[in-house]
Amino acid sequence: MLVAVGLNQKGATVADREVLALPSEELLDALTAFQALDGVDEVAIVSTCYRVEIFAAARCPAAAELSLRHAMEARAGRPLPLFELQGEEAFRHLVRVASSLESAILGEPQILGQVKDAFHRAAEAGAAGKELASVLSRALAAAKRVRTETAVGRAGVSWGNAAAALASKVLGPLAGRRVAVIGAGEMARLTAQHMRDERASVVVLNRTLANAEALAAEVGGEARPLEALEQELLRADVVVSAAPAAPPALAPAVMQRILHARRKRIVMVDLAVPRAIPAETGALPDVYLCDVDDLDRVMKAAMAERAQAAQHAERIADEEVQKFARAEAERRAAPLIQEMRSRASAIAREEVERTLRRLGEDPELAKRLDAMAGSIVSKILHAPSTRLRQAVCDGGANDPLVAAAVQIFDLSAAPAARGDAA
């Protein structure tokens, strides 16, 4: 059975997480140590800035949970706020992690690769085998559905994303467009980073050139003194003002002259409160001025889209967990059903042979009687097999129907109760 034990940003502090953090050079030893624990057959470790989580295939889940908890707390040297999950709930958690539904930022793309890498490294180390490989395959398929069937990961929520969205409505894709960012503070940095991610050409202008140069180096752009703004306005497609006061070049009279010379549209984004760019400048022909209220509306729409996407993603996760549960029920019920069918087939075969001894050897008749006997066995046991699979899915060996079948058919095989074995 799948077991998950660990901690993440939802229930643990940075101090809790950092005592369990696993540098790459320690991963192999950790995998070996955890796999050797009581009840654990296979193990993989997902260790990132936000989480340290162990996923294990366990022949005895209760023992595995206990030994994993003790080992993790021994490593930390103190008690930890660890979560413990089994079976379907452990799989649900893995799907949510891989789909970014458990991430600090919904939709962030890195976690899927981190989960893949964690399981692949465990396999390479010999710590993860067929069972965890099957679990990973199902979790990745679920994460792929979330990415392709929902807007999770596509609707960004940030000032920079909102500024890019508004500029794109006017200009189309920003790739190759020239974006002038006025200022070098935190808002300027976040917006410049997002414009870079949109493959725009970023120019940073600031009163202190050294600060402009530092930000430009960070985003792979150019740095210019603020005095060069008027020249830059002749070329820029987008101007983002992240300074508390607008430079003289953004005054209506100056902008009117610049617009006459450039003869093309320009998007201006004012991130300051109070607003730094005069409303009269925004009223000029070919000027599209956006302020923080415009950005806020875009972000609220993006947040609403994210929330709707998250609901859709949760439904997909539920569907995939149900598939996992059915597959697990099939696997756990297989020995019981196989023994039931084997006993019935053996009885049918004995009766066919007894009949043939009375009627005499006849290969064609024997073939037909065998086929008839097999068909009768399959048809009689179809409904019991279906009911048993469902019973195993619902409660394992603890389900009354399973116990009754074992008694009625005198079976030795029985599926593990949930929480008792893999």
CA angle 145, 27, 137 (to 5 degrees): 20
Residue 227, annotated as binding a ligand: no
Strand order in the sheet with 266-270: 222-225, 201-206, 178-182, 238-241, 266-270, 287-290
Residue 187, annotated as binding a ligand: yes
Residue 51, annotated as binding a ligand: yes
Catalytically annotated residues: 49
For helices 110-124 and 87-98, the axis angle rounded to 10 degrees is: 120
* Secondary structure of residue 116 in the 3-state scheme: helix
* Cα–Cα dist 54/132, whole Å: 12
Residue 110, annotated as binding a ligand: yes
In 197-283 the beta strands, taken as DSSP E runs, fall at: 201-206, 222-225, 238-241, 266-270
Residue 188, annotated as binding a ligand: yes
Residue 156, annotated as binding a ligand: no
* Cα–Cα dist 289/269, whole Å: 6
213: exposed, middle or buried (Cβ count in 10 Å: 0-12, 13-18, 19+): middle
Task: Classify residue 420 by its DSSP letter.
Answer: T
In 88-221 the beta strands, taken as DSSP E runs, fall at: 178-182, 201-206
174-199 burial: b if 16+ Cβ within 10 Å, else e: beebbbbbbbbeebbbbbbbbbbebe
* Secondary structure of residue 13 in the 3-state scheme: coil
* Secondary structure of residue 130 in the 3-state scheme: helix
DSSP H helical ranges for 37-129: 61-76, 87-98, 110-124
* Cα–Cα dist 68/56, whole Å: 9
Residue 384, annotated as binding a ligand: no
* Cα–Cα dist 295/273, whole Å: 13
Residue 396, annotated as binding a ligand: no
24: exposed, middle or buried (Cβ count in 10 Å: 0-12, 13-18, 19+): exposed
Both tokens of 279, joined, read 């409303």
Both tokens of 154, joined, read 């596509």
Task: Encode 363-400 in three state secondary structure.
Answer: HHHHHHHHHHHHHHHHHHHHHHHHHHHHHHHHHHHHCH
Both tokens of 183, joined, read 């200022």
Residues tagged in the binding site annotation for substrate = 48-51, 103, 108-110, 114
Residues tagged in the binding site annotation for NADP(+) = 183-188
